[in-house]
């Protein structure tokens, strides 16, 4: 039943609220996506991962689902969905849906019933505990701020929510709950969807004992919990193995060894995982809230570890960002006008010549930058707003510092409207957008990118075409060069006598190569016009060089 098509896929991630509005209500929708399918196909992507479009009260923009089988009216109707799917299949594209089953919305009918009576069939679909006197059952803190427990007076019990209190965690210990989820998955697959991106799938199993965590941290108990692999194998035999589909599990706090347990070849669980080791290198005293830059040697070590650690044993997913991360060019590249496009192309080269399936987050192919918000009133994201309230409210950070941190790491940086044109509201909507456009849309937009041969978009096309034709990119070994260099990220891929050397400058300086030999050969792609000197990398330069090697 299963083939490896997902290894050759190029995935384009859509955050539907911010992609394209078609009816002027300021919210992106399914019709808008249908109208832009050619744009995505022409880029070279053949799979779309769609963030949640289900019925939801939107406490967390759709990651709080109140009906798993309904389309949110903001996005359109089930008929619109069916048309999207058939228009995609007509173009030879596949659709991956977001599967959010660690938690539901508190407005899901299961929870509505669960919170009313311990007799309800649905009570045990969630995780309930008695308090400790007037205090919650343990000291766990929610990942979105405050305690991870919410008291329900009718029950005199608390329910667990790792995320917002409107996102109660589902109890995967309950076989009836699991059955409901598998049936729902089959329902979408029978409609024809081609896979799932599984939201925080490594959190679904919680231990029966729920002890206090160090500093209120629930991770030691909930990350890779006791039965998670049993559940995924069951899901695989009940659902996944019966369809020709792809799966990618979102897994915060994941190590290479743990990744092999989820996605190792022959494990019978998932095809791929997302880990966040490369995006999390700036985390510090205030968690993700920081204005720190990623140290390049550490970044290289992370990629080396994953490229070699999964080689021949599992398959990497390649991404710089998503709807939870700041913009790649702002975080890892350079926003300055003279370097923005160059560094966006460099990041494309650096990442997508590695082994694995490329994921492109909407707008990164234009080199879209962070939002540039300077006022808390511009933010919409519940995580950002809660963190501002908690950190500023407690006096841990002053307003100005927190606003600076938000401008670097808030999830809203990636959620501003997709920049289609230099027209009103970036061509995203004819109405009032649900979130303001970022500051860069007059200069950075798809209309312009399509028209200019030397654009980021056209560079992505070329790079993706090159990688598609290359067995070495798909199958080759990985060797990191000059691990301690603080400005150059260089590596070699080798396969059957061919070597590709990928040379990337992560700085605004001209850098001479300490050992220029690896730079010799045929240049397949470069983000500068005109040949430079082989032994020097210009600011934010990226080059892929092909050479032959003797097979001994």
Decide if residue 21 touches Ca ion (CB under 5 A): yes
Angle subtended by helix axes 296-309 and 256-263, to nearest 10: 40
Decide if residue 143 touches ligand TEU (CB under 6 A): yes
Q: 74 or 150: whose CB is closer to Ca ion?
A: 74
27 contact, one of Ca ion, ligand TEU, none, CB 5-8 Å limit per kind: Ca ion
| Strands 498-505 and 536-537, sheet pairing | unpaired
Interaction with ligand TEU in 441-480: which residues (CB under 6 A)? Answer: none
Decide if residue 288 touches ligand TEU (CB under 6 A): yes
Nearest-angstrom CA–CA distance, 187 and 193: 9
- Left if phi > 0, otherwise alpha if psi is -120 to 50, otherwise beta: which for 358? beta
Decide if residue 101 touches ligand TEU (CB under 6 A): no
Decide if residue 63 touches ligand TEU (CB under 6 A): yes
Q: Are 82 and 180 in contact (CB under 8 A)?
A: no
Q: How far is the CB of 541 from ligand TEU (least distance, A)?
A: 31
Q: How far is the CB of 349 from ligand TEU (least distance, A)?
A: 26
Q: Are 278 and 41 in contact (CB under 8 A)?
A: no
Distance of CA 552 to the CA centre of its chain: 41
> In the numeric block, which tokens belong to residue 216?
């209120």
* 278: nearest Cα among 257, 246, 311, 256: 256
Q: How far is the CB of 361 from ligand TEU (least distance, A)?
A: 12
Taking CB under 6 A as the criterion, the residue among 411, 493, 499, 543 binding ligand TEU is 411
163 contact, one of ligand TEU, Ca ion, none, CB 5-8 Å limit per kind: ligand TEU
Decide if residue 100 touches ligand TEU (CB under 6 A): yes
Q: How far is the CB of 86 from ligand TEU (least distance, A)?
A: 27
Nearest-angstrom CA–CA distance, 33 and 26: 14
Tell me which H or E stretch contains 83: helix 78-90
Decide if residue 324 touches ligand TEU (CB under 6 A): yes
| Strands 157-160 and 357-361, sheet pairing | unpaired
Q: Which stretch binds Ca ion (CB under 5 A): 29-37, 483-491, 519-527, 539-547?
A: 29-37
Size of the site for Ca ion (CB under 5 A): 5
Q: What is the DSSP string of 180-232?
A: HHHHHHHHHHHHT--EEEETTGGGS---SS----GGG--HHHHTT-TTHHHHH
Beta partners for 264? none
Q: What are phi and psi of 80, to 5 degrees?
A: -60, -40
Taking CB under 6 A as the criterion, the residue among 60, 106, 157, 412 binding ligand TEU is 60
Nearest-angstrom CA–CA distance, 289 and 402: 8
Q: What is the DSSP string of 320-385?
A: S--TTS--HHHHTS--STTTHHHHHHHHHHHHHTSSSEEEEETTGGGT-------SGGG---HHHH
Decide if residue 25 touches Ca ion (CB under 5 A): yes
Taking CB under 5 A as the criterion, the residue among 9, 10, 11, 27 binding Ca ion is 27
Beta partners for 491? 480, 502
143 contact, one of Ca ion, ligand TEU, none, CB 5-8 Å limit per kind: ligand TEU
252 contact, one of Ca ion, ligand TEU, none, CB 5-8 Å limit per kind: ligand TEU
25 contact, one of ligand TEU, Ca ion, none, CB 5-8 Å limit per kind: Ca ion
Q: Has 515 been annotated as catalytic?
A: no
Catalytic residue among 98, 199, 335, 492: 199
Decide if residue 163 touches ligand TEU (CB under 6 A): yes
Size of the site for ligand TEU (CB under 6 A): 14
Decide if residue 23 touches Ca ion (CB under 5 A): yes
Catalytic residue among 250, 261, 324, 383: 250
Decide if residue 29 touches Ca ion (CB under 5 A): yes
Q: 32 or 326: whose CB is closer to Ca ion?
A: 32
Q: How far is the CB of 411 from ligand TEU (least distance, A)?
A: 5
* 204: nearest Cα among 237, 246, 241, 233: 233
Interaction with ligand TEU in 19-38: which residues (CB under 6 A)? Answer: none
Q: Has 261 been annotated as catalytic?
A: no
Q: 56 or 472: whose CB is closer to ligand TEU?
A: 56
Strands (E), 207-307: 246-250, 272-274
23 contact, one of Ca ion, ligand TEU, none, CB 5-8 Å limit per kind: Ca ion
Q: How far is the CB of 277 from ligand TEU (least distance, A)?
A: 13
Angle subtended by helix axes 399-409 and 382-393, to nearest 10: 150
Q: Are 30 and 71 in contact (CB under 8 A)?
A: yes
Distance of CA 516 to the CA centre of its chain: 36
Q: Which stretch binds Ca ion (CB under 5 A): 26-34, 236-244, 271-279, 369-377?
A: 26-34
Q: How far is the CB of 13 from ligand TEU (least distance, A)?
A: 10
Show the site string, 177-216: x = touches ligand TEU by CB under 6 A, - = not.
----------------------xx----------------
Q: Are 28 and 427 in contact (CB under 8 A)?
A: no
Q: 54 or 457: whose CB is closer to Ca ion?
A: 54
324 contact, one of ligand TEU, Ca ion, none, CB 5-8 Å limit per kind: ligand TEU
Q: Are 13 and 413 in contact (CB under 8 A)?
A: no
Decide if residue 275 touches ligand TEU (CB under 6 A): no
545 contact, one of Ca ion, ligand TEU, none, CB 5-8 Å limit per kind: none
Distance of CA 539 to the CA centre of its chain: 28
Residue numbers annotated as active site: 199, 250
Question: Which residues would be at the binding site for ligand TEU (CB under 6 A)?
Answer: 60, 63, 100, 143, 163, 199-200, 250, 252, 288, 323-324, 383, 411
Question: Which residues would be at the binding site for Ca ion (CB under 5 A)?
Answer: 21, 23, 25, 27, 29
């Amino acid at each position: 039943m299963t083939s490896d098509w997902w290894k050759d896929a190029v995935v384009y991630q859509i955050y539907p609220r911010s992609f394209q509005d078609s009816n002027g209500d300021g919210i992106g929708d399914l019709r808008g996506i249908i109208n832009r399918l050619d744009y995505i196909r022409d880029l070279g992507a053949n799979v779309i991962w769609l963030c949640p479009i289900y019925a939801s009260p939107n406490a967390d923009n759709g990651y709080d689902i109140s009906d798993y089988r309904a389309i949110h009216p903001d996005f359109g109707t089930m008929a619109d969905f069916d048309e999207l799917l058939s228009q995609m299949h007509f173009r030879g594209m596949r659709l991956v849906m977001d599967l959010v089953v660690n938690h539901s919305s508190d407005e899901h009918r299961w929870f509505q019933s669960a919170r009313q009576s311990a007799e309800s069939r649905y009570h045990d679909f969630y995780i309930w505990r008695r308090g400790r006197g007037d205090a919650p059952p343990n000291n766990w803190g929610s990942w979105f701020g405050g305690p991870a427990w919410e008291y329900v007076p009718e029950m005199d019990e608390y329910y667990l929510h790792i995320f917002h209190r409107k996102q109660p965690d589902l109890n995967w210990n309950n076989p009836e709950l699991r059955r409901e989820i598998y049936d729902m998955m089959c329902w979408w697959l029978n409609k024809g969807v081609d896979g799932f991106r599984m939201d925080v799938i490594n959190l679904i199993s919680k231990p029966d004992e729920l002890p206090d965590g160090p500093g209120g941290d629930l991770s030691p108990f909930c990350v890779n919990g006791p039965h998670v692999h049993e559940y995924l194998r069951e899901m695989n035999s009940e659902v996944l193995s019966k369809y020709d589909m792809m799966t990618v599990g979102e897994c915060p706090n994941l190590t290479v060894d743990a990744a092999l347990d989820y996605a190792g070849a022959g494990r019978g669980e998932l095809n791929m995982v997302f880990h966040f080791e490369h995006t999390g290198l700036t985390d510090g005293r205030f968690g993700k809230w920081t204005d720190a830059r990623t140290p390049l040697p550490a970044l290289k070590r992370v990629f080396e570890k994953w490229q070699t650690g999964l080689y021949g044993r599992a398959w990497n997913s390649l991404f710089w960002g998503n709807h939870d991360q700041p913009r790649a060019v702002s975080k890892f590249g350079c926003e300055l006008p003279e370097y923005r496009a160059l560094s966006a192309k460099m990041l494309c080269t650096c990442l997508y010549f590695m082994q694995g399936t490329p994921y492109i987050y909407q707008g990164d192919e234009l080199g879209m930058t962070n939002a540039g918000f300077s006022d808390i009133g511009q933010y919409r994201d519940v995580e950002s707003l809660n963190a501002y309230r908690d950190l500023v409210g407690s006096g841990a950070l002053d307003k100005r510092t927190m606003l600076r941190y938000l401008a670097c790491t808030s999830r809203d940086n990636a959620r501003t409207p997709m920049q289609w044109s230099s027209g009103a509201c970036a061509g995203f909507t004819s109405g009032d957008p649900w979130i303001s456009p970022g500051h860069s849309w007059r200069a950075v937009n798809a209309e312009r990118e399509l028209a200019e041969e030397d654009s980021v978009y056209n560079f992505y096309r070329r790079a993706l075409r090159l990688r598609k034709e290359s067995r070495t990119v798909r199958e080759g070994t990985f060797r990191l060069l000059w691990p301690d260099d603080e400005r150059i990220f260089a590596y070699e891929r080798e396969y059957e006598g061919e070597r590709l050397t990928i040379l990337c400058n992560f700085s605004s300086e001209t850098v001479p190569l300490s050992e220029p030999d690896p730079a010799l050969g045929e240049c397949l792609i470069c983000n500068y016009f005109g040949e430079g000197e082989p032994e020097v990398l210009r600011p934010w330069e990226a080059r892929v060089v092909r050479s032959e090697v003797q097979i001994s």
